[in-house]
Amino acid sequence: MSADCCKFCSSCVITLGVVCLFTWLAVRSPSSPKLSILFLHLPGLNTSSPAALRNASISFKLKLDNPNEEMGIRYSNLTLSFRYPSNQSSAIADITLPSFYQGHQKKAVKSGSGETRGVNWTEVAAAVNGTVSFRVDVDGSVRYKVFQWLTRRHGVSIRGVVGVDTQGVYASKKGVRLKSGSNLMPRIGCCWLFLLVFLAHSAFLGCSSVPRKIY
């Protein structure tokens, strides 16, 4: 292999390494999406309407905020689980929102509804006086989009406690922020990038040190 060919190949590899490095710098610290419950309605807790106690439905509105300036977010199916405080081991309802894409610095509100299970609302309404709290869990995954590239999937597991009034309603423009115990920020292996540049540099030096035959 000629010295010129070695230099050309090394330049290509180094350029690729630099591009990967800048890509890593661009996505190394994205902000996690912010999810909040804006609305929750369980008509079975409406103590002013005896007929409502037989209503097992549940409905909600979930706000999703992407604070990133240069990155979109691809959400997988998100499953919302609702748990009554006295029995948090099993959910009274599981509702899934379909996957969707959210552009950078965009906000979205997704609505969902379903049926509760395993709850005697007459007994619940009679046992409480005032606000009833429910734990809301959201599970799924996200992928961050930078230019035309998508990162690998990163798990989402967040939760919060929402209290409904004697009408079985929670409503607020600010909402209840759901907190995450997992790290949603993707990391590209910078060690591999530096190793790539190091190997390219070593290959360049190795090719340059090969003695050329003089005719």
Tell me the pTM: 0.72
Assigned domain for 16 exists: no
pLDDT at res. 139: 97
Assigned domain for 197 exists: no
The alpha carbon of 212 is separated from its chain's Cα centroid by a whole number of angstroms, namely 56
Assigned domain for 130 exists: yes
pLDDT at residue 200 greater than cutoff 90 = no
Low-confidence winner among 28-42, 81-95, 170-184 (lowest mean pLDDT):
170-184
Instruction: Give 64-90 pLDDT, tens digit per residue.
Output: 999 998 899 999 999 999 998 677 788
Query: Dihedral of CA 72/156/176/131: which sign?
Result: positive
Range of the domain at 125: 30-187
pLDDT at res. 192: 47
Instruction: Give 10-25 pLDDT, tens digit per residue.
Output: 777 777 776 665 566 5
Q: Are 83 and 135 contacting, i.e. CB atoms less than 8 angstroms apart? A: yes
**Bigger pLDDT: 201 vs 109:** 109
pLDDT at res. 103: 95
CATH code of the domain in which 77 resides: 2.60.40.1470
Mean pLDDT of the chain: 81
Assigned domain for 200 exists: no
* Domains identified in the chain, total number: 1
